[in-house]
Amino acid sequence: MRWLVLIAGILLSACAALVPTPAPAPAPTALSTPTRIPPTPLPALTATIFPDAEQSYKKVSGRAPFTVVFSAAVTGGAPPYTYAWDFDGDNKTDSAEKSPPPHVFTQAAAYNAALVVTDAQDQVIRVTRRIVAFAPPAMPNWKYGMNAYLERRHAPYYPTWQDVERAAQLMQDAGVQVARMNFNWDMLNPTRDEWKFEDYDNVVKIARAHDLEILGVLAYSSWWASSAQDSQDWRVRLYSEPLNDYDFARYTYAVVNHFKKEARVWQIWNEPNTQDFWKPQPNPARYVSLLQEAYLAAKYADPNAIIVFAGLNGNGIDGNDDAQLTSDFLQTTYAAGARGYFDVMAIHPFMLPNSGIETLRAKISATRELMNKHGDENIPLWLTEIGAPTDIPWWATAPPQSEEDAANWLELVYTKLWDLTPTIFWYQLQDRDTGDDPAGHFGILRADFSPKRAYEVLKRIAGSKPAK
C-alpha cells in the first residue's frame, strides 16, 4: 500500500511540472505628458521716423513755414500696427496714418516730433525726430572786427596760451568787438569719427574772457574728406573741395552744436572765388551746393545761428587773371541757387590805399547793387577782410605802403564806409616773420607784438570811451 502512495506522489509531481508557470505581471507605468514646445518669441518691435539727417539736412531743417513729409519703417512685434503721430511735441495725436499727410511748421522753433507704434499684442514703442523751422536771425551789433589766427597753436602764431591771452588783451584794449578765426576741419575732425575740441574750447574761453565775440570760419577740407586724396602737397589737400557735401555739413553741425553757447556767427569757407582757396579751380555751383547743405546743418544745430557767405576776394564781381580771381562769381552763385542760404553777404575788397576811398566805395556799391537786383536788399553786407601790407611791395608794380599809409587807410575805412556796411574786419592783427612775402606784413602789430601806427589809430577810433 505504501508503494502505491509513493507512486501517486511521483505522478502528481510530474503533472505539476507539465503545467506552465504564468509570466509575472508587468510593473505599472506612469501616464506620459505630451511635450510642450515653447512659442517662438516675437522679434522686438522697432520703428524709425523719416526723414532723418543721416544723408542730408535738407528735409529736417528749413525756413518757417516749413513743410515736412513724414513716414515710418516698423518691424518686429505682431502686426497689424497702429500709429499715433505728434508732429509738434504737444503730446496730442495729429495723425493715425502710417504715412500721414505733409505737415507745415508755421512757427520758427526746434520741434521733437514723436511717433507711438502699438502692435497686436499691445507692445508699444515711442521714437522721436528733431525738426527745425527757423526764421531770420537777430544780427549782432558789431562794427569793429579783427582777423586773428588765435587757433594757430604754433609759431609764428600763438604757440603758448600766454600768447593767445596777450593777443586777446591787445584786441580788447583797441576796442575790437569780434575776432574772426578759423575753426579748421582738419584740426577738429582729423579722421571721420575723431573729434578734438579741447584746444578750441580754450581759445574760445580766452576770447570770451576778454569780451571778444567770435566769427568762426568753417573751412577747409580735412585730409580724409578732401577730393585731392592722391596729392602729396598739403596745400592741395587742404584747399581742394570736399569729396561730398554731407561730410562738410556733418562737420558744420558738430562744430556749431558744440560752440552754440559761445558763438553763433559762422562763415562758410573763405575766398572760394580764388584758386588759392578752392582747388583745382573756383566752381560757383559746387560752392552753392556745399553752402546749402552747411547752412541747413548749422540751423539744425542752432536755429539762431547766423550764416555768412564765404568772404569773396575783391567784390565778387571783378576778376583778375594775375591773382587767379574769378569774375562774376557772385552772379553765378545766385544763378545756382545761393539766395536764401546765407544771412549775411561778405566780401574782401582789398586794394591799394593810394587808389582812394571813392574807388573802394564803388567796389562795395557794385556788390550791393547786384544783391539788390536779386532781391537781397535786406541782407547785410560785411567786409570780413580789408587791409594793406606795410613796407613791402604788394605786387611787382605796386609801390610799398608805409606804416603811416596803412594807418591812414584804416582810418578812412573805419570812418567813411558806415553807410555801405555795418561791420568791418581788419586784416589782420599781427605780422608774421616771413621775409618778403607781403601776406606776412598786414598786421597792425609787428611779429614781436609791438604796435604799429594803425593799432593806435584803431584804438583811438574804436577803443575810446564816450564821455560820461
For 297-327, the pLDDT digits (tens) are 999 999 999 999 999 999 999 988 767 788 9
Average confidence score pLDDT of the chain: 91
Check pLDDT > 70 for residue 372.
Answer: yes
What are the pLDDT digits (tens) for 75-85?
Answer: 999 999 999 99
Q: How many residues are recorded in the chain? A: 468
pLDDT at 18: 45
Residues sharing a CB contact under 8 Å with residue 400, sequence separation 6 or more, in sequence order: 390, 391, 392, 393, 394
**What pLDDT shows up at residue 64?**
97
For residue 169, pLDDT beyond 80:
yes
| DSSP letter for each residue of 384-402 | EEE----SS-SSTTSPPPP
pTM of the model: 0.89
Could you read off the pLDDT of 214-257 as tens digits, one per residue? 999 999 999 999 999 989 999 999 999 999 999 999 999 999 99
Helices (H) and strands (E) counted in the chain, each on its own, are 11, 17
Q: Please name which of 215, 202, 210, 208 lies closest in space to residue 158, comparing C-alpha atoms.
A: 202
Sign of CA dihedral 87, 88, 91, 95: negative
pLDDT digits (tens, 9 = 90+) for 1-13: 444 444 445 444 5
- pLDDT of 19 reads 47
Mean pLDDT, residues 135-150 = 96
C-alpha cell at 408: 591812414
% of the chain at pLDDT higher than 90: 80
Residue 111: band (very low, low, confident or very high) from pLDDT cuts 50, 70, 90 = very high
Judged against a pLDDT cut of 80, whether residue 24 lies above it is answered with no
* β-sheet bridge partners, residue 66: 105
Distance from C-alpha of 278 to C-alpha of 238, rounded to nearest angstrom: 9
Task: Please give the pLDDT value at position 85.
Answer: 98
Kindly give, in sequence order, each residue whose CB lies less than 8 Å from that of residue 118, ignoring residues fewer than 6 positions away. 81, 82, 84, 124
What's residue 367's pLDDT? 98
Who contacts 10 (Cβ-Cβ below 8 Å, separation ≥6)?
none
Radius of gyration of the chain (CA): 38
Ranges of beta strands (E only) in 330-466 are: 345-348, 381-386, 424-426
328-371 residue pLDDT tens: 999 999 999 999 999 999 999 999 998 999 999 999 999 999 99
Residues 431-461: pLDDT tens digits?
Answer: 987 678 888 999 999 999 999 999 999 999 9
Cα(440)–Cα(391) distance, rounded to whole angstroms?
11
Q: What is the DSSP code (8-state) at residue 224?
A: G
Average pLDDT over residues 251-278: 97
CB 457 within 8 A of CB 412: no
Cis check: omega of the bond before 280, within 30 degrees of 0: yes
pLDDT of residue 40: 67
Strand order across the beta sheet in which 381-386 lies: 306-308, 265-268, 213-219, 178-184, 144-147, 424-426, 381-386, 345-348, 312-313
Report the pLDDT averaged over residues 121-141.
96
Q: Note every long-range contact of 353-362, with CB atoms under 8 Å and residues 24 or more positions apart, other chains counting.
A: 353/388, 353/401, 353/405, 353/406, 353/408, 353/409, 353/412, 354/399, 354/401, 354/405, 357/412, 357/413, 357/416, 357/417, 360/413, 360/417, 361/416, 361/417, 361/420
- For residue 20, pLDDT over 80 is answered with no
Helix axes 245-259, 284-301, angle to 10 degrees: 40
Q: Which domains does the chain have, with CATH numbers?
A: 46-134 (2.60.40.10), 144-462 (3.20.20.80)
Closest by Cα among 258, 164, 272 to 221: 272
